[in-house]
Amino acid sequence: MSKGLERRKAILSDPVAQFERAVEIREFETQVNALFASGTIRGTTHLCNGQEALAIGLASVLRTDDPVSATYRSHGIALALGLTTESAMAEIMGKATGCCGGLGGSMHLCDLELGLLPTSAIIGGGMPIAAGAALAFQVQGNDRVAVAIFGDGATNIGAFHETLNLAAIWKLPVVFICDNNVYAEYSRINLTTPIEDLHIRAESYAMPHFALDGMDIDVVREGIQSAVDRARSGGGPTFIEAKTYRFAGHSRADQALYRPEGELDSWKSRDPLLLLEERAKKSGKITDAQIADMKVRKAKEIEATVALCQNAPEPSAKTMFENIWSRKVSQ
Ligand X SMILES: Cc1ncc(C[n+]2csc(CCOP(=O)(O)OP(=O)(O)O)c2C)c(N)n1
> What residue ranges bind other proteins (CB under 8 A)?
41-44, 94-95, 100, 102-108, 120-124, 153-154, 156-159, 184-187, 191-193, 258, 314-315, 317-321, 324, 330-331
User: Residue 185, by phi and psi: left (phi above 0), alpha (psi -120 to 50) or beta?
Assistant: left
In the complex, which residue's CB is closest to Mg ion? Answer: 151
Can you tell me which of 15, 94, 128, 151 binds Mg ion, judged by CB under 5 A?
Answer: 151
Report the nearest approach of ligand X to the CB of residue 52 (Å): 13
Using rule CB under 6 A, residue 50 touches ligand X: no
Q: In 84-202, at which residue ranges do the beta strands (DSSP E only) sit?
A: 146-151, 174-180, 183-184, 187-188
Using rule CB under 6 A, residue 221 touches ligand X: no
Using rule CB under 5 A, residue 249 touches Mg ion: no
Residue among 121, 258, 256 at smallest CA distance from 191: 258
Strands 238-243 vs 209-213: parallel, antiparallel or unpaired: parallel
Residue among 8, 6, 150 at smallest CA distance from 66: 8
3-class DSSP assignment, residue 34: helix
296 touches, from Mg ion, ligand X, other proteins, none (C-beta below 5 to 8 Å by class)? none
Using rule CB under 6 A, residue 184 touches ligand X: yes
Residue 248 makes CB contacts below 8 A (sequence gap 6+) with 29, 33, 47, 49, 50, 254, 256
73 touches, from ligand X, Mg ion, other proteins, none (C-beta below 5 to 8 Å by class)? ligand X
Minimum CB distance to other proteins smaller for 107 or for 168: 107
Can you tell me which of 4, 50, 82, 153 binds ligand X, judged by CB under 6 A?
Answer: 153
> Are 238 and 227 in contact, with CB atoms under 8 Å apart?
yes
Which residues of this protein are in contact with Mg ion, per CB under 5 A?
151-152, 181, 184
Interface contacts to ligand X, rule CB under 6 A: 46, 71, 73, 121-123, 150-154, 181, 183-185, 246
